[in-house]
Chains A and B, each alone.
Chain A
């Protein structure tokens, strides 16, 4: 069966520090991959999605970037974190058309 792993589960970082969140999927090939952010008390915002290795689409302009170095690995990064980057970050994957997305357990990021 397919599984999705995100780490770390929680992270506390100072303003201006770099960031790297990792997400990996097992048990499937060539998944669509997604990064979402959930700000406190708000809904989910799609940040990036990828339909293949090296293919990244950005949904909103921001301080973050994403990369997909391998088929089942999706990385969210920042060179210098801002206070506004705090939130709950969720990775998700889906097979192709008509299939729902499956989410990881999320990373809670706090910026001090």
Chain B
């Protein structure tokens, strides 16, 4: 079945550092890809998405490019802030039926001032 693999956490960085969180997927067909963010004690919020190969999703300084050839959707940010501390989930969605999401295991990110 479809699956998503994220880099193991936790990840700890200093403020203004460059961030990369790796995500690779296995899927039949052409899924949509998402990054969700979960701040402490809260539900998930959609951070960005890409619906086809070579699409780049971006939001709040974060970016991810849908790479079909490497089946990847890595999350990047050029300069992180303390407020970016959260758990980040990569997910894919098939484009049929009930549009079920398949999540990676999540990566906890902590940014130190």
Closest residue of chain A to B104 (Cβ to Cβ) is A43
Can you list 11 contacts pairing A with B, beta carbon distance less than 8 Å? Answer: A34-B98, A43-B89, A43-B106, A44-B106, A46-B101, A98-B99, A100-B34, A100-B93, A102-B46, A103-B44, A104-B43
Number of interface residues of A (CB under 8 A): 26
Residue of A nearest to B9 (CB): A41
Q: Does A111 contact B (CB under 8 A)?
A: no
Q: Are A46 and B46 in contact (CB under 8 A)?
A: no
In the assembled complex, the Cα of A94 lies from the Cα of B93 at a distance in Å of 12
**Nearest 3 pairs between A and B by C-beta?**
A43-B105, A103-B43, A103-B44
Number of A-B contacts (CB under 8 A): 61
Chain B contact residues, CB within 8 Å of chain A: 32, 34, 36, 42-46, 49, 51, 89, 93, 95-106
The answer for the CA separation of A104 and B96 in the assembled complex, in Å, is: 23
Considering the complex, give the chain B residue whose CB is closest to the CB of A106: B43
Knowing A43-B106, A103-B45, say if A96 contacts B100 (CB, 8 Å): no
Q: What chain B residues lie within 8 Å of A97 (beta carbons)?
A: 95-96, 99
Q: Which of A59-101 contact B (CB under 8 A)?
A: 59, 90, 92, 94, 96-101
Chain A residue at minimal CB-CB distance from B96: A97
Q: How far is it, in angstroms, between the C-alpha of A105 and the C-alpha of B43 when the chains are bound? A: 4
Distance to closest chain A CB from B49 (angstroms): 6
Residue A58 is within 8 A (CB to CB) of chain B in the complex: no
Q: Are B46 and A100 in contact (CB under 8 A)?
A: yes
Q: Are A44 and B98 interface neighbours, CB within 8 A?
A: no
Query: Known contacts A105-B42, A106-B43; is A51 also within 8 Å of B101 by CB?
Result: no
Q: Which residues of chain A have C-beta atoms less than 8 A from B101's C-beta?
A: 34, 44, 46, 92, 101
